[in-house]
């Protein structure tokens, strides 16, 4: 049986506190900016996807995805 290796986003000096809300949001935005710049399926963008998926609650991601689709996302994409 293959071992599963679990990883999370590396420490980021911009987010020194234990509350990772801002870190989560920033990684989500970085992922979508990367997709916009490099196109869907870019391997370079996958690291940002892994980061935000490990930091952000699924409910937030679903809400942000809906907001992006509706053009009401509050962040800078």
| Alpha carbon distance 30, 65 (integer Å) | 14
- pLDDT the model gives residue 69: 94
- pLDDT the model gives residue 37: 93
Write out residues in the chain with pLDDT < 70, as ranges.
Answer: 1, 6, 17-18
Whole-model pTM: value is 0.77
Of residues 17, 22, 28, the one with CA closest to residue 51: 28
| Alpha carbon distance 67, 65 (integer Å) | 5
Of residues 58, 6, 7, 5, the one with CA closest to residue 28: 58
What are the Cα distances from residue 72, in Å, to 45, 54, 63, 65, 68? 23, 24, 11, 10, 6
């Amino acid at each position: 049986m293959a071992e599963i290796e679990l990883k999370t986003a590396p420490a980021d000096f911009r987010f020194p506190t234990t509350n990772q809300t801002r870190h989560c949001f920033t990684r989500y935005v970085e992922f979508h900016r990367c997709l916009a710049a490099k196109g869907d399926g870019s391997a370079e963008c996958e690291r940002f996807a892994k980061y935000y998926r490990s930091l952000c609650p699924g409910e937030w991601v679903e809400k942000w995805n809906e907001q992006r689709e509706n053009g009401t996302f509050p962040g800078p994409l």
